[in-house]
Amino acid sequence: MAYSHTNTLELLTLQNQLLLAVGGSQNTRECMHTFMQTTLKLLGLKSIHLYIFDHSLPDQESLVLYLSIPDNKLEREHKLTIYKMLLHFKNEEGGNHLTEKIDDNEVLAYDFNSIGGLILEKQRSKFQPAIKDTLVPVIQKLADHYRFCELQKRLNSEAKINKKAQRTYELQAKRDPLTNLPNRREFRYALSKEISNAQRYDHFGALMYIDLDNFKNVNDSLGHSIGDILLTQVAQRLMTQARIGDTVFRIGGDEFVYILSNIGDKETDAIKTAQTVATRVIDILAKPIEIGEFSLHITPSIGIAVFPDSFDDGNDSENILRHADTAMYRAKKNGRNCFEFFNPEMHIEANKRLIIEDHLRKAISNDELHLVYQPIVNANGEIIAAESLIRWDNKMLGHIVPDEFINIAEESNLILDLSHWITQHVCEYAGQLYQQLDKYSNFSYISINISPRQFIQIDFVESITKIINDCSAPNSFIKLEFTENVLLDNIDASIEKMEQLHVNNINFLLDDFGTGYSSLSYLHRLPIWLLKIDKSFITDFYSKHNNTQAIVNAILVMTEELGINCIVEGVELQEQANFFKQKGVHGMQGFFFYKPMPSHALTELVSKKVIAIEPA
Ligand code: C2E
Ligand code: MG
Ligand code: MG
């Protein structure tokens, strides 16, 4: 029935009916539709329309039809009039409804909470003022409801997006973004779980630590993007050969681990299975990896730790990982592209390393370090230089030789503090010694051994130059000893650093020549004018089984051609001294002349111009 009277009871009934039509549905469109249909019917309208402003659109187009019953006839024809009417409310020009005549029809526009308007169209008749007012609270309620529903909708969709983002985030936190393998964090968790399972159910598992050999060379020579592709392909190969239940993780740059789950009730069975898997890993990586025009050969070094183990350091994930890592280092030492199981002997070695590292950490502050200097003599036995060498005496461990702790310091980063201490102390002494030198002295420098990790620091040149600049001796009085492996890792960067040092008048020499790659192709590229032939050649000098003398001769000829001076280290015998004197080497260093000595002893020798036992 359409309302035509303005009797109060009728109006209240109309209001109630419409309010009921607003309903509680949270589906906005459904709710609006019910209301509008009821209004259309009860008021005998020609049409009814709901418009909403979309502020992302230009002004006149910003009025968007939300719902029309029937259809949207009015929209196309009279949009501008309606827009103007609704603008009236939007600009808060007063009132909450407006009437206009369009053609024969009366159009009644209600403010829809300033976000749009509700348009009621009556054909060839007018809206009664009482009915117009009766509708105001109903339409306000409808607008509130619309707002509420829209807000709810927005919140729901935001929550959905947040949930999705949360899920992506959670997934990313577990995965390595490059290879999509589970990452180090996941690995820790999984390994702990596997170890406790193995303990609880009395079976064995194994952790396999896979490190790619010389991966750094790929990155350095072909660039990181090729390196990344290579890692992805390696990850894929490793994944394809994993058994169900075994998991592959990427835990560092070129480091992958496998957890082999439940591989036997007896340790021997577990070892056998782990051996088979390790062999498979080596085989699967043996096929070259083709990336564009490159065919890359990559090999792994694998360390395996079976768990639970019977070593006394506890079966936690930290220890098992360290065991596998130690075994992997052994595999590297054994020539790479092979695997090694962690064993009791390595266990002792690993523990010893830990103890040394622990004490070394406090060595500087406990004042346990000192420096000694080993003279280098010329053919006449005159001291022309000295090499500084570190010494460490610890109350508990006694005297520890550099060969035992320099590597540990290197691997644990302690070398940086140590090197700083060494450089500072050598420079301090060099300053004192220089002041005491006779102006006719042949003594021309003190050398400092530079460790690889120290050299690769970005600020190496800057920090060492600063210490040497502060030294009261001229910069040329200090020489730095680099070994081949320091320089070859990234030859271009090394050359740049050496050139920068050179500009500051800081020179260097190549130490232990002959023990590394000793490749002639790099020797001529490096700005080197002085090298030390490694003592292993001199020790082996009279061995009948190899061609040491021939090799030493070759080195001497080659360096002469290149204009490089040679020092021989490890000269212990008169015959050796004689041989090198005849060869006209630049300098000789060894127990035959002098053992490393404290600074005051060197000062005394140099200032007294003592001449060593002169070679014949
Ligand atoms: P290196 O730089 O090649 O030093 C020469 C080593 O040969 C010294 O051992 C020296 O004592 C030893 N030596 C010299 N003449 C003879 C000889 O006639 N016979 C024998 N058997 N040995 C001789 P040291 O002092 O034990 O140092 C060993 C290595 O430890 C050094 O080799 C060097 O690589 C490293 N090192 C020593 N001091 C330092 C340091 O202050 N900083 C760094 N980074 N490394 C150091
Ligand atoms: Mg040296
Ligand atoms: Mg040396």
Mean pLDDT of the region 127-153: 82
65-79, 307-321, 357-371, 463-477: least confident range: 65-79
Looking at the domain assignment, is residue 163 inside a domain? no
Residue 361: Cβ within 10 Å count: 14
Mean pLDDT of the region 525-534: 90
What pLDDT is stored for residue 554 in this prediction? 87
What pLDDT is stored for residue 521 in this prediction? 67
Nearest CA to ligand 1 atom 34: 449
Closest alpha carbon to 18 in 37, 5, 4, 1 = 37
Beta strands in 241-316 (DSSP E): 247-252, 255-260, 289-291, 294-296, 300-307
- List, for residues 13-58, the tens digit of each pLDDT value: 777 777 776 666 667 788 888 888 888 888 888 889 888 888 888 7
383 and 532 both lie in a single domain: yes
Nearest CA to ligand 1 atom 13: 570
Looking at the domain assignment, is residue 178 inside a domain? no
Calculate Rg over the CA atoms of the chain.
Answer: 43
Phi, psi of 209 (to 5 degrees): -100, 115
Share of the chain above pLDDT 90, in %: 47
Domain count, the chain: 3
Between residues 523 and 380, the one the model is more confident about: 380
Residue 268: Cβ within 10 Å count: 10
150 and 231 both lie in a single domain: no
Mean pLDDT of the region 581-608: 94
Cβ of residue 410 lying under 6 Å from some atom of ligand 1: no
526: domain CATH number?
A: 3.20.20.450
3-state SS track over 10-37: HHHHHHHHHHHHHCCCCCHHHHHHHHHH
Q: What's the CA-to-centroid distance between 91 and ligand 3, angstroms?
A: 88
Mean pLDDT of the region 82-98: 80
Looking at the domain assignment, is residue 248 inside a domain? yes
Share of the chain above pLDDT 70, in %: 93
Between residues 508 and 151, the one the model is more confident about: 508
Interstrand relation of 478-483 and 507-513 (parallel, antiparallel or unpaired):
parallel
Cβ of residue 589 lying under 6 Å from some atom of ligand 1: yes
In 483-568, alpha helices (H)? 484-488, 491-503, 520-523, 535-539, 548-562
Looking at the domain assignment, is residue 217 inside a domain? yes
pLDDT at 98 over 70: yes
Residue 477 DSSP class: G
What pLDDT is stored for residue 607 in this prediction? 86
What pLDDT is stored for residue 279 in this prediction? 95
**Among 416, 485, 512, 569, which residue has the most ligand 1 atoms within 8 Å of its CB, making it the best to mutate?**
569
The answer to whether residues 383 and 443 touch, using CB atoms and an 8 Å cutoff, is yes
**Among 360, 389, 513, which residue has the most ligand 1 atoms within 8 Å of its CB, making it the best to mutate?**
389
202 and 249 both lie in a single domain: yes
Nearest CA to ligand 1 atom 21: 570
Atom of ligand 1 nearest to the CA of 572: 18
150 and 190 both lie in a single domain: no
Confidence of residue 212 (pLDDT cuts 50, 70, 90): very high
Looking at the domain assignment, is residue 171 inside a domain? no
6 and 125 both lie in a single domain: yes
Confidence of residue 105 (pLDDT cuts 50, 70, 90): confident
Q: What's the CA-to-centroid distance between 507 and ligand 2, angstroms?
A: 14
Q: What's the CA-to-centroid distance between 583 and ligand 1, angstroms?
A: 24
What pLDDT is stored for residue 369 in this prediction? 97
What one-character-per-residue DSSP string does 123-138 give?
SSSPPPHHHHHHHHHH
512 and 437 both lie in a single domain: yes
Q: What's the CA-to-centroid distance between 511 and ligand 2, angstroms?
A: 5
- List, for residues 246-270, the tens digit of each pLDDT value: 889 999 999 999 999 999 999 999 9
Confidence of residue 550 (pLDDT cuts 50, 70, 90): confident
Burial environment of residue 391 by CB neighbours within 10 A (0 to 12, 13 to 18, 19 or more): middle
Q: What's the CA-to-centroid distance between 480 and ligand 2, angstroms?
A: 9
Query: 542's torsion region: left (phi>0), alpha (psi -120 to 50) or beta?
Result: alpha
524 and 592 both lie in a single domain: yes
81 and 201 both lie in a single domain: no
91 and 188 both lie in a single domain: no
Distances (CA, A) of 612 to 352, 575, 606, 616: 40, 15, 11, 12
Cβ of residue 390 lying under 6 Å from some atom of ligand 1: yes
Contacts of 388 (CB under 8 A, 6+ apart): 371, 372, 373, 422, 426, 429, 446, 447, 448, 449
Mean pLDDT of the region 484-492: 78
**Parent domain of 550:** 375-390+415-608
| The token pair that represents 8 in the structure block | 């109060």
Cβ of residue 122 lying under 6 Å from some atom of ligand 1: no
What residues does 385 pair with on adjacent strands?
A: 376, 445
Mean pLDDT of the region 459-472: 96
Between residues 543 and 226, the one the model is more confident about: 226
Atom of ligand 1 nearest to the CA of 410: 44
pLDDT at 1 over 60: no
For all residues of the chain together, what is the average pLDDT? 87
The answer to whether residues 242 and 308 touch, using CB atoms and an 8 Å cutoff, is no
Identify the nearest ligand to the CA of 532 by its number. 3
Residue 118 is which amino acid? L
Phi, psi of 308 (to 5 degrees): -70, 150
Confidence of residue 340 (pLDDT cuts 50, 70, 90): very high
CA 462 to CA 573: how far, in whole Å? 41
Confidence of residue 401 (pLDDT cuts 50, 70, 90): very high
What pLDDT is stored for residue 601 in this prediction? 96
Q: Three-class SS of residue 375?
A: strand
Looking at the domain assignment, is residue 322 inside a domain? yes
pTM: 0.61
In 175-241, alpha helices (H)? 184-201, 215-222, 224-240
Looking at the domain assignment, is residue 359 inside a domain? no
What pLDDT is stored for residue 59 in this prediction? 75
What pLDDT is stored for residue 74 in this prediction? 60
pLDDT at 338 over 70: yes
Identify the nearest ligand to the CA of 424 by its number. 1
* Half-sphere exposure of residue 220: CA atoms within 13 angstroms, side-chain side: 11
Contacts of 33 (CB under 8 A, 6+ apart): 67, 69
Query: 53's torsion region: left (phi>0), alpha (psi -120 to 50) or beta?
Result: beta
CA 103 to CA 279: how far, in whole Å? 91
Nearest CA to ligand 1 atom 44: 451
Cβ of residue 588 lying under 6 Å from some atom of ligand 1: no
Residues with CB under 5 A from ligand 3 (ion): 511-512
273 and 386 both lie in a single domain: no
385 and 511 both lie in a single domain: yes
CB-based contacts of 91-100 (< 8 A; 24+ apart in sequence): 96/136, 96/139, 96/140, 97/132, 97/135, 97/136, 99/126, 99/127, 99/132
Q: In what order do the strands lie in the sheet with 255-260?
A: 247-252, 255-260, 205-212, 300-307, 339-341
What pLDDT is stored for residue 313 in this prediction? 66
Looking at the domain assignment, is residue 169 inside a domain? no
pLDDT at 485 over 90: no
Nearest CA to ligand 1 atom 27: 402
Confidence of residue 345 (pLDDT cuts 50, 70, 90): confident
Q: Computed from CA positions of residues 419, 422, 427, 430, in that sequence, does the dihedral angle turn out positive or negative?
A: negative
What pLDDT is stored for residue 275 in this prediction? 95
425 and 549 both lie in a single domain: yes
| The token pair that represents 533 in the structure block | 């032939």
In 113-214, alpha helices (H)? 129-174, 184-201
254: domain CATH number?
A: 3.30.70.270
